[in-house]
Amino acid sequence: MSICRSEGHRLDYELVRSFWEEAAHEAESASYMAHEQGLPRGCVEHRFALERAVVDRWFAGLGPTASVLDVGCGAGAWTELFAQRYGRVVGVDASAGMLAAARRRLAGQGNVELVRGDALTVVLNGEFQGVLLGGLLMYLDRADAVALLVRLGQLAPRGRIILRESGIRSGVEVQTGTYQVVYRSLQEYEAMAAEAALRVVAVERNRGYAHMEVTVALVNLARRLPPFARSDAAAVGGPLWRFLRATAPVSLELVPRAIEAVGLDWPHLTNHFLLLEAGP
Ligand SMILES: C[S@@+](CC[C@H](N)C(=O)[O-])C[C@H]1O[C@@H](n2cnc3c(N)ncnc32)[C@H](O)[C@@H]1O
């Protein structure tokens, strides 16, 4: 793997697709990129619960007949939540394997359409009042990411678009190799939304993601120490997560914020929610 610090390096979309097809055998945790870290289910559930609080608040105005689009729906965790609440839910994903996991999860939900295809080109009908775009723009080159935002503005001209994206504190970092991804700063995402003629109505730091990243960073650190060097990630991740959960106000909130406040880039990855709207 090498890292390029400009968007001049284009992503290899075939490698992106094959990464997700392979990850699909662990689709539930792969949706949250937790499948390679040995993190227990509780850690992913904790992240989802904190994220859900943000999505609930930002979609609070959507009524039971609303149409909601889940772009890059992965294993369908959000699609399922929306299906319980809204009249029509469409989930789109490029990976056959991830979509198969979503189909298993959503079997019998009559108000859900699951569509396989590229978010940029897949045919989608009707207008949406809510859109969730969770963890997808980082797999698109900048021009394609802006084009997708433009498209979402057209699909939800009077709706609310929630963007949840991983990134870094400043600049851009393109990872090449088998896992192709672009990490951008929050400021970069705000600029891209403006280019797509979308207004940034609100921004919120993703605490659930931050908690998971602290845990991931500590698992990786611990496994470099001699007593844990031979342990697999799960043997370290389970007990570590239980400790962090029990001491969360200090270990997952206070300490990471203090580290950030003194200007240290740890953990390296961040994540934010942006609430976007089209129109004036
Ligand atoms: C990190 S997962 C996020 C899953 C889901 N949004 C969630 O939050 O649980 C990224 C998903 O985006 C999908 N994806 C990547 N590029 C895509 C594209 N161009 N069009 C549609 N889906 C894409 C992948 O197959 C994968 O399922």
Q: Show me where the domains of the chain are located.
A: 3-206+270-277, 210-261
User: For ligand 1, is residue 16 a contact (CB within 6 Å)?
Assistant: yes
Q: Is 136 in the pocket of ligand 1 (CB under 6 A)?
A: yes
Coil/strand/helix, residue 197? coil
Strands (E) across the chain are located at: 3-4, 67-71, 88-93, 112-116, 130-134, 160-167, 172-175, 181-184, 199-205, 270-277
Contact in structure between 276 and 158 (CB atoms under 8 Å)? no
- In Å, what is the CA distance from 106 to each residue of 103, 115, 133? 5, 13, 19
What pLDDT score does 33 carry? 67
DSSP state letter for 177: S
Q: Whose CA is nearest to atom 27 of ligand 1?
A: 74
- Of 114, 139, 144, 180, the one to substitute when testing ligand 1's pocket (max ligand atoms within 8 A of C-beta) is 139
pLDDT value, residue 135: 97
Measured from the Cβ of residue 280, the count of other Cβ atoms closer than 10 Å reads 5
Residue 31: the pLDDT is 67
Q: Write the residue with the smallest CA distance to atom 9 of ligand 1.
A: 31
Contact 1, 175 (CB under 8 A): yes
Q: How confident is the model at residue 35, as a pLDDT?
A: 65
Retrieve residue 134's tokens.
Answer: 């969770």
pLDDT tens by residue, the chain, 280 residues: 788 888 878 999 999 999 999 999 888 777 676 666 778 889 989 999 999 999 999 999 999 999 999 999 999 999 999 999 999 999 999 999 999 999 999 999 999 999 999 999 999 999 999 999 999 999 999 999 999 999 999 999 999 999 999 999 999 999 988 999 999 999 999 999 999 999 999 999 999 999 999 999 998 898 888 888 777 878 888 999 999 999 999 999 999 999 999 999 999 999 999 999 997 7
Q: How much distance in Å is there from the Cα of 40 to the middle of ligand 1?
A: 22
Residue with CA nearest ligand 1 atom 2: 31
CATH of 3-206+270-277, one of 3.90.550.10, 3.40.50.150, 3.90.25.10, 3.30.930.10: 3.40.50.150
DSSP codes, 97-134:
HHHHHHHHHTTT-TTEEEEES-TTT----S--SEEEEE
Q: Does the CA dihedral 192-197-198-200 come out positive or negative? A: positive
Using CA atoms, how far residue 103 sits from 80, 97, 108, in Å, is 10, 10, 9
Q: How far is the CA of 246 from the centre of ligand 1 (A)?
A: 32
Check pocket membership of 270 for ligand 1, CB cut-off 6 A.
no
